[in-house]
Structure 1
Amino acid sequence: MNGPAQLADLLGMASVQRAGVALLVGSVGLPVIGVVIVGLDIIPVRFAMMHVALLGAAIGMLTGLDPALCGLVACAVAGAGISPLARTPESLSGAMGLLMSLAIAAALLVLSIAGVNASAAFSLLWGSILAVRVQDVLVLAALAVVVPALFWWRRRDLALLLHDRELALVSGVPVRRLTLVLLVLVAVAVAGGIRLTGALLVDALTLLPALAARRLGHSLTAIICWAIGIGITVNLIGFLVALALDLPPGPVLVLAAGAAALAAHLIPERRNTSWHASVH
């Protein structure tokens, strides 16, 4: 356990400050991505993108490029590539499963061809918030601007799409184009989140704040505001607690976000209006 003086010294370190900034900006964009994941019913997407990021890292090792950057680009390409298959929510979930299987097989093949230690590529998936780089912060900062801006700009169309795809289609919403944009953002966001907490704990930044927010918000706008507020609060508190108690940040972040989601679900349920009914 770190005392106040030790905690102050830790907060003065450049790596800790960079991690705090990354977590702060990530807590703005990534919970909104969680709202998209839940709305499109593509919760397995994080597992699919985990394997795609591994494939990108393997390609980076084979070509001598930055493995993390290659993983990010591979996720973006994969997100765009599965969009044409998203004619129905069921087909999108199936596409995620196919993508996951093909990506892991291709990754293992590339690693074998490259002749590198597979553990080096898999280490990308474990992530470490204290090891984030400036470029990782920039990616998360871009998401923190682009994602909320997109939802504000197209909030009516997105509310309809996330509420009911068929209703969005008959209402004239450009469903295919919006789905493409959302899938690319989801893929990039998951890849960026992996750098902070690792693939297995990325739910702390995306799904858990979104699940709590859906319980509390009565419209898409309210849900997004709740998701961002919950994300910022629980992640910064979790980070400080991890530093103060000298614990690994990833699991503490998940427990903090999970506690918030559980607390939200203990609140008596209200019969909220549909997302598309309130798009101020």
Structure 2
Amino acid sequence: MNITDMLSYGFMQRALLGGSLIAILCSVLGVFLVLRRLSLIGDGLAHVTFGSVAIALLFRLQSVYNTLAIIPIVMGCSMGILKLAQRARIFGDAAIGIVSALGIATGVMLASVAGGFNVDLFSYLFGNILSISTSELGIAAALFVVVIAGVATFYNDLFASTFDEELAKSSGIDTDRINTVLVLMTALTVVLAMKVVGIMLISALLILPAATALQLARGFKTAIVSAAAFGVITVITGITVSFVLNLPTGATIVITNFALFACAFGARTLLRRG
């Protein structure tokens, strides 16, 4: 099967478009999260998403309504992580761990009540971008616009807070508001990424393109653009390879991302030695 034949399928067109949009969001936000040492927030929110999915499945909601129901829950929990870190006098990774444990425990409990782990829940755990519907693609496109607009609007403040939060605060930047914006945008992105690589692999899609870009880029804007490009390339490559070879799509995307990161790391090492 050649590329033209593959692109003739509607589900492949939706998968490639939706996957590309979500890859850009994960990659752009990933640069901020990696530099701020908050990359594990994706993993924590993924576990919260597991609990939210279990709630949606318990009430037998359709797929598109699952996404709409999950979004406010995950956004609320992202705020919980932030408030715990600010007010409970614990480090960010501990706050992520607390909310993550609560999310996964709630998910297991509700999945048991709903009748156990079924095929639907399995697809949420490991992703199924090839099954993305037109409605879900519309939601992804709308949230893509929201998140990119948020990054563009608060770019200068996000940049300042990323490199020196205390200096940003003393310069008059409302860092609490910026942190809130960042975690809420991350929550939206995590919900979307669930369809691409699944709950278990979301953190990889947030971390690897950003980490790859940071190996090669010499400026912050260059890192963001490079991360977005790497994210799109690896998602398109992963979807294509998984379709042709009949492999799990989410896992193929993550392995492709890691292969690109390994190449970038090797190139950087060689350049330093040279």
Both proteins in one fold, TM over 0.5: yes
Identity %: 28
The structural deviation recorded for 1:46 is: 2.7
Q: TM-score, normalised by structure 2?
A: 0.85
1:172 aligns with 2:172: yes
Structure 2 residue corresponding to 1:22, chosen from 4, 18, 21: 18
Q: TM-score, normalised by structure 1?
A: 0.84
1:32–1:210 contact (8 Å) kept in structure 2: yes
Alignment partners' CA distance in 2, 1:34 and 1:140: 18
1:9 aligns with 2:5: yes
The structural deviation recorded for 1:96 is: 0.6
Give the direction of change, closer, same or farther, for the CA distance of 1:41–1:68 in structure 2 (3 Å limit).
same
Alignment partners' CA distance in 2, 1:115 and 1:148: 36
The structural deviation recorded for 1:31 is: 0.6
- Name the residue aligned to 1:51: 47
Alignment partners' CA distance in 2, 1:108 and 1:249: 24
Secondary structure in 2 matching 1:268: helix
Alignment partners' CA distance in 2, 1:23 and 1:174: 33
Give the direction of change, closer, same or farther, for the CA distance of 1:153–1:67 in structure 2 (3 Å limit).
closer
The structural deviation recorded for 1:189 is: 0.8
Task: Compare 115-124 and 161-170 and name the one that shifted more.
Answer: 115-124
Alignment partners' CA distance in 1, 2:107 and 2:201: 21
Alignment of 1:129-278 (within 5 A): 129-268=129-268
The structural deviation recorded for 1:149 is: 2.9
1:72 aligns with 2:75: no
Alignment partners' CA distance in 2, 1:93 and 1:175: 19
Structure 2 residue corresponding to 1:37, chosen from 18, 33, 37: 33
> What is the root-mean-square deviation of aligned Cα atoms in Å?
2.6
Alignment partners' CA distance in 1, 2:56 and 2:248: 28
| TM-superposition CA deviations, 1:43-101 (whole Å, max 9, x none) | 22233222211221222233343444333332112112222234399622111100011
Alignment of 1:108-127 (within 5 A): 108-112=108-112, 114-119=113-118, 120-127=120-127
Give the direction of change, closer, same or farther, for the CA distance of 1:106–1:204 in structure 2 (3 Å limit).
closer
Give the direction of change, closer, same or farther, for the CA distance of 1:220–1:148 in structure 2 (3 Å limit).
farther
1:82–1:92 contact (8 Å) kept in structure 2: yes
Alignment partners' CA distance in 1, 2:131 and 2:111: 24
Unaligned runs of 5+ in 2: none
1:83–1:176 contact (8 Å) kept in structure 2: no
| TM-superposition CA deviations, 1:179-225 (whole Å, max 9, x none) | 11111111221121111111233345321110011222233222111
2:40–2:203 contact (8 Å) kept in structure 1: no
2:216–2:268 contact (8 Å) kept in structure 1: no
| TM-superposition CA deviations, 1:12-31 (whole Å, max 9, x none) | 12111111111121122121
1:50–1:125 contact (8 Å) kept in structure 2: no
Task: Compare 223-232 and 85-94 and name the one that shifted more.
Answer: 85-94
Alignment partners' CA distance in 1, 2:106 and 2:202: 23
Alignment partners' CA distance in 1, 2:36 and 2:140: 22
Alignment partners' CA distance in 1, 2:10 and 2:92: 41
Task: Compare 44-53 and 141-150 and name the one that shifted more.
Answer: 141-150
2:42–2:206 contact (8 Å) kept in structure 1: no
| TM-superposition CA deviations, 1:146-203 (whole Å, max 9, x none) | 3333333322211111112222222221111111111111122112111111123334
Q: Which amino acid aligns with 2:8?
A: G
Secondary structure in 1 matching 2:86: coil
Q: Which amino acid aligns with 1:73?
A: P
